[in-house]
Amino acid sequence: MQDRVVLVTGGTQGLGLAIAQAAAREGASGVAIVGRNAEKAERAAEGIRASGRDADVTTEVLPIVADLGVDGEAERAVAETIARFGRVDSLVNAAGATSRGTLLDTTRELLTEHLTLNITVPFMTMQGAVADMRRRGAPGTILNIITMSMHGGQPYLAPYVASKAGLAGLTKNAAFAHRFDRIRINGLNIGWTATPGEAVTQQTFHGADDGWLAEASAAQPMGKLGQPDEIADAVVFLLSERSGVVTGSIIDWDQNVPGAYE
């Protein structure tokens, strides 16, 4: 990622922050992160700068405070990144909605929230980033965080599954459309991951107690949930030249195998 400018939505916490830190460690000269809370964004920015310093890299960080669910905010995030750094070399769409709903109890409002954050926002950030890359005649890379649940998921994830499966289709469509622009676009289907946000989700929607993580980890094949830093390494690989010509791939990053039965 040496000397690249990277934009990460959802980059102020959890997986998005881990990805931004990994990009800095790998030499990114500029990292823009998008989140809703200004104080959290500033703390995250300092953590990203520190990650770069630990690897002897000077990384300029641009925290962008935005509610991506509001019309025009996704476009503004891309525009502010270009205004500050002059370009976007790599884009990561890590922001998204994960709230619960079944086919029968999901309201139109909840479905709209998922479609907005999980499809419309990535669509618009990709549009802005690809337009910038084409304007400069430069190659670039995009990585969309999707989910293993796009294969079907649990009944209580109906709007999430619908929107993320749509993002998988969008990823392939955009990758095919812009392969001769040398813009590589891939998706990562992440499995159950240990983040602060997941802890809130488990407690809010599933009545989990403080010991939920240890119990959940013990039940997994590898004895742990997915780790943000490990996923971040995979993301950086797919953004970098180390992943070669790969584009249009939706990669399962998990310890369970969809479609397999005992």
Q: For 104, phi and psi rounded to 5 degrees?
A: -85, -30
Distance from the first to the final alpha carbon of the chain: 41
DSSP letter, residue 95: -
Active site residue 160: yes
The strand ranges marked E within the chain are 5-9, 30-35, 60-65, 90-93, 140-145, 183-190, 250-253
Query: Which amino acid does the sequence have at 221?
Result: P
CA distance 170 to 119: 8
* Residue 52 token pair: 């770069």
Number of alpha carbons in the 13 Å side-chain half-sphere of residue 151: 16
CA distance 248 to 49: 31
Distance of CA 171 to the CA centre of its chain: 13
Active site residue: 95, 160, 190, 253, which one?
Answer: 160
- Sheet of 30-35: strand order equals 60-65, 30-35, 5-9, 90-93, 140-145, 183-190, 250-253
The interaxial angle of helices 121-136 and 73-85, nearest 10 deg, is: 30
Query: Which amino acid does the sequence have at 46?
Result: E
- Residue 70 in contact with residue 104, Cβ under 8 Å? no
The catalytic residue positions are 160
